[in-house]
Amino acid sequence: MEEKNSISYWLKTANDDLRPRQALKESITTDIAILGAGFTGLWTAYYLLEKEPSLNIVILEKNYVGFGASGRNGGWCSPKFSVSPATCIKRYGTETARQIQMAMFDSVTEVERVIDKEEIDADWKLGGSLQVALGAHNISTLEKAMKTYQKLDLENHFQLLDQSQTDKRLKIHGAAGSLLTKISAVLNPGKLVRHLARTLEQKGVLIYENTEVVKIVEGNENKPPGLVAHKGAVTAKHAIVLAGEAYMSQMRDYQRNLIPMYSLITLTEPLTKKQWNSIGWEGRETVGSTRLSVDYLQRTADGRILFGGRGQPYRYASKISNSLDLHDKTHNELRERFIKWFPSLQGIRFTDDWGGPVGITRDWTPNFLYNKKAKVASAWGYAGQGVSTANLAGRVLSDLILDKNSIATELPMFQHTSRKWEPEPFRWMGVRFVQSGLSRIDKKAELNGRAPSGKTIVERLSRN
């Protein structure tokens, strides 16, 4: 039997009853059937009901609400898109790249609107986000990013901060400056996902947990679509929604549509007042760096520091297992990096470790799809930016299902199908090569005091 997953601190502190809801044990009919009770499925249901309150909606969840990335992430609601603005300009042109960024800003403010409207306590704060240059050699990366935003006529949403300005917000050892994203928020995602589900139940949505979908039935002119579970099934009069994100890779027909990449987190005990005074961070900005291997931090509402990053190796055949939620080597490296950032906090106790997979498509672009003939909607491939992107996906899918003008018909993720990942063993070989290569490049840059060139094979392969 598979061991239990590492329940995130977010879910432990969600102020919600975590006892499982009932499982589906019969065949039923509804208007909309949704696979997955994470942010994509819940937001899609929310906006469907906002536009058509009379709809009957059923959600089937293999485990429990917020089991996946929605309940395990770093607690950023960021306007970052999975494809960088510079790459978006090269792929789609300046105007489309600008539209993508504006759509992501709108997603952050839209999540805030719903939190306020539904009176959800999610420890939300619109405090901005800092990308920190650790060492003067990384300042050029921030300056290049700012030039890109100027090219998009979006420079008013960002601000370059020098070392002194950065230190006034947060004292990080070796920080030479930072780039402030003004519209970005921090939150407890466990509270949001759990209480968004409760809000939907109050509106009449039925959520079944411990209900694994084993078959997806596409519709046609003569039959409706549906979802088949082990002990029951749901037939949908209007449409089904596939909202399993990284976990869709575990279903045979979707194995190469995206790959699951693990992201891991460690969390400290609450800091003392003296400790907070030594580093600052009164604004609760989310914090990352220019490292290729990714860092992400937040100050929690109860005074802890979360430090997350990549590092857990990709597993052959896109394996997902609860046993992979914890990886001693990676979690130890996260704690070591934490102390390098905050040497004054040497000796602090780490109370919680967890992790989980995020979904990545072959071109790093999310796929928002609706097959009108088969009546199947789907969205996946957020590459770690799911808190905001899933909200956008929910609004887009609800528009497509209800045949309304979509907010995203001009965006490249609309009706976009990424090319499939390579079959194994080539997928494993390629992903492992890039993972190990990025780690080596980061370490070399730290030792040499020179920013990555961007010209290596690994950097070109991973560019997004």
Q: Which amino acid is at 310?
A: R
253, with CB counted inside 10 A (0-12, 13-18, 19+), is exposed
Question: Which pLDDT score is estimated for 5?
Answer: 59
How confident is the model over 36-67, as pLDDT tens digits? 999 999 999 999 999 999 999 999 999 999 99
Question: Which pLDDT score is estimated for 127?
Answer: 97
The C-alpha atoms of residue 356 and residue 67 are separated, in whole angstroms, by 9
How confident is the model over 140-178, as pLDDT tens digits? 999 999 999 999 999 999 999 999 999 999 999 999 999
pLDDT: which is higher, 453 or 370: 370
Mean residue pLDDT of the chain comes to 95
> What share of the chain has pLDDT > 90, as a percent?
89
Phi, psi of 169 (to 5 degrees): -90, -45
Neighbours of 448 (CB within 10 A): 9
Closest CA to 359 of 339, 377, 346, 378: 378
Question: Which pLDDT score is estimated for 297?
Answer: 98
Average pLDDT over residues 312-325: 94
Question: Which pLDDT score is estimated for 2?
Answer: 42
Task: Inform me whether the pLDDT recorded for 219 exceeds 60.
Answer: yes
Q: Which of 224-238, 333-347, 442-456 is the least confident region?
A: 442-456
Task: Inform me whether the pLDDT recorded for 1 exceeds 50.
Answer: no
250, with CB counted inside 10 A (0-12, 13-18, 19+), is middle
Task: Inform me whether the pLDDT recorded for 318 exceeds 60.
Answer: yes
- Tokens coding 447: 């030792």
How confident is the model over 402-445, as pLDDT tens digits? 999 877 777 999 999 999 999 999 999 999 999 888 888 877 77
Could you give the count of Cα atoms lying within 13 Å of 151 in the half-sphere of its Cβ? 17
Q: In the structure, what pLDDT confidence band is assigned to residue 136 with cuts at 50, 70 and 90?
A: very high
Q: What is the 3-state secondary structure (H, E, C) of the chain?
A: CCCCCCCCHHHHCCCCCCCCCCCCCCEEEEEEEEECCCHHHHHHHHHHHHHCCCCCEEEECCCCCCCCHHHCCCCEECCCCCCCHHHHHHHHCHHHHHHHHHHHHHHHHHHHHHHHHCCCCCCCECCCEEEEEECHHHHHHHHHHHHHHHHCCCHHHEEEEEHHHHHHHECCCCEEEEEEECCCEECCHHHHHHHHHHHHHHCCCEEECCCCEEEEECCCCCCCCEEEECCCEEEEEEEEEECCHHHHHHCHHHCCCCEEEEEEEEEECCCCHHHHHHHECCCCCEEEECCCCCEEEEECCCCCEEEEEECCCCCHHHCCCHHHHCCHHHHHHHHHHHHHHCHHHCCCCEEEEEEEEEEECCCCCCEEEEECCCCEEEEECCCCCHHHHHHHHHHHHHHHHCCCCCCCCCCCCECCCCCCCCCCCHHHHHHHHHHHHHHHHHHHHHHHCCCCCCCCHHHHHHCC
